[in-house]
């Protein structure tokens, strides 16, 4: 299952937001390969030497295996691990943080290499089924029908007006929820998305009496369509425009032959999680952690006054 996060352009797009340098490591063995896109970031300085850590970019991807059917995966992983360890030593990479794809089982291949743990769920519509009847609960189906009855109109496009309308409503959302810098976006940031993915991005809008009341950026991967950024005007929440927008965007993706409509994750027990649970299925996703140089890692943790609880690497904080 190919998502936009597996496209080599994606890691290049995200390097500025992650404050690092985009890299794609490829391990080849015969007709098989392991591809690992990541962002190399400065971790700190110890005894005058600069060290680095790596993180997979926004979204879920991690390393993946493209193998010949006859290839022994365990041997492939073993040889990759040995070679990549040498690479990390050479590049002074002391730690890795990976977000594995929820649409492939690649995390299972790497459980001998990384400390892998369940992180949460990514909520998706299976576009190869009647997702409206099978995944939307009765209340949400009625909300979609009600929004149509109330003359909420859904349109989509990529011109400057769509971009401006999206930013106007998103900025309102940023102020209301006081989002962190990582989740703040501006015109230059969005234009960069369109520069990298001119044929894969479209903006969906919900209109009521010619006013934009809900908007979302949709990114079309090879198999997966991603509901990537979104914003709503709460004054019009009674119209359930966002439910209709999501339904129409998923249908749009299905008509293009996409297999999955990705609505993203949500904090456990949050209102957003409850909303997504009512219109989609939860796909488990996993993270991987690894410390490649324990001694230097511990020195960096000491430099910041001890481990920062809830973060990895533990010398970082919400970066």
Beta strands in the chain (DSSP E): 21-29, 32-46, 49-55, 64-66, 93-99, 115-126, 153-157, 201-208, 211-220, 224-232, 260-265, 281-291
pLDDT at 290: 98
The model's confidence at residue 40, banded by pLDDT at 50, 70 and 90, is very high
pLDDT over 70 (residue 209): yes
Average pLDDT over residues 44-60: 97
Helix axes 160-177, 187-196, angle to 10 degrees: 130
Closest C-alpha to 122, from 141, 142, 107 = 107
The answer to whether the beta carbons of residues 3 and 101 sit under 8 Å apart is: yes
Ramachandran angles phi, psi of 32, nearest 5°: -105, 155
Strands 93-99 and 49-55: parallel
Q: What is the pLDDT of residue 15?
A: 95
pTM beyond cutoff 0.85 = yes
120-148 per-position pLDDT tens digit: 999 999 999 999 999 999 999 999 999 99
pLDDT digits (tens, 9 = 90+) for 72-106: 888 999 999 999 999 999 999 999 999 999 999 89
According to DSSP, the β-strands at 32-46 and 49-55 are antiparallel
Residues near 14 by beta carbon (within 8 Å), at least 6 away in sequence: 22, 39, 57, 58
Residue pair 283/102 in contact by the 8 Å Cβ criterion: yes
What is the predicted pLDDT for the residue at 176?
A: 65
Q: What is the mean pLDDT of residues 276-281?
A: 97
CA 144, CA 124: separation in Å to the nearest integer?
17
Q: pLDDT above 70 covers what percent of the chain?
A: 96
Q: How far, in Å, are 62, 71, 152, 177 from residue 167 at the CA level? A: 30, 48, 20, 15
| Alpha carbon distance 63, 87 (integer Å) | 15
As a whole number of angstroms, the distance between CA 113 and CA 272 comes to 34
Distance between alpha carbon 246 and the CA centroid of its chain, in Å? 17
Q: Taking CA 236 as the corner, what is the angle to CA 265 and CA 156, rounded to the nearest 5 degrees? A: 65
**Residues 285, 4: Cα–Cα separation, whole Å:** 16
Cα 18 from Cα 181, distance rounded (Å): 11
Q: Which DSSP state fits 197?
A: -
- Element at 87 (helix H, strand E): helix 73-91
Look at strands 32-46 and 21-29 and give their pairing: antiparallel
Q: What is the pLDDT of residue 86?
A: 98
Give the per-residue pLDDT at 70.
64
Query: ω into residue 313 within 30 of 0, thus cis?
Result: yes
- pLDDT-derived band at 178 (thresholds 50, 70, 90) equals low
Average pLDDT estimate for 214-243: 96
Q: How far is CA 218 from CA 194, 208, 239, 246, 253, in A?
A: 11, 20, 21, 10, 9
Domains of the chain, earliest start first: 4-120+285-303 (3.40.630), 129-258 (3.40.630.30)
**pLDDT band at residue 179 under the 50/70/90 scheme:** low
Average pLDDT, the chain: 94
């Amino acid at each position: 299952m190919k998502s936009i996060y597996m496209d080599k352009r994606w890691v290049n797009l995200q390097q500025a937001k992650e404050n690092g340098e985009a890299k794609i490591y490829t391990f080849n063995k015969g007709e098989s390969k392991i591809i690992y896109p990541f962002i190399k970031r400065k971790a700190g300085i110890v005894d005058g030497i600069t060290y680095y850590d790596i993180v997979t970019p926004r979204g879920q991807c991690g390393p993946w295996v493209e193998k010949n059917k006859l290839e022994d995966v365990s041997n492939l992983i073993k040889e990759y691990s040995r070679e990549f360890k040498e690479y990390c030593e050479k590049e002074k990479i002391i730690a890795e943080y990976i977000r594995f794809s929820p649409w492939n089982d690649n995390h299972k291949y790497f459980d001998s290499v990384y400390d892998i743990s369940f992180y949460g769920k990514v909520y998706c519509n299976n576009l190869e089924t009647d997702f409206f009847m099978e995944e939307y609960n009765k209340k949400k189906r009625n909300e979609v029908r009600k929004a149509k009855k109330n003359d909420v109109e859904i349109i989509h496009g990529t011109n400057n007006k769509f971009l401006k309308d999206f930013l106007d409503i998103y900025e309102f959302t940023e102020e209301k929820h006081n989002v962190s810098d990582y989740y703040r976006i501006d015109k230059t940031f969005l234009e960069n998305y369109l520069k990298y993915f001119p044929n894969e991005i479209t903006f969906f809008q919900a209109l009521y009496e010619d006013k934009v009341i809900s908007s979302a950026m949709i990114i079309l991967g090879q198999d997966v369509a991603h509901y990537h950024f979104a914003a709503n005007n709460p004054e019009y929440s009674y119209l359930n425009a966002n439910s209709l927008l999501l339904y129409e965007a998923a249908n749009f993706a299905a008509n293009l032959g996409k297999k999955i409509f990705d609505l993203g994750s949500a904090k456990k027990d949050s209102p957003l999680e409850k909303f997504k649970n009512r219109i989609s299925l939860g796909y488990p996703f996993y993270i991987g952690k690894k410390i490649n140089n324990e001694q230097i890692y511990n020195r960096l943790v000491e430099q910041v006054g001890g481990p920062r609880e809830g973060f990895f690497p533990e010398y970082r904080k919400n970066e």
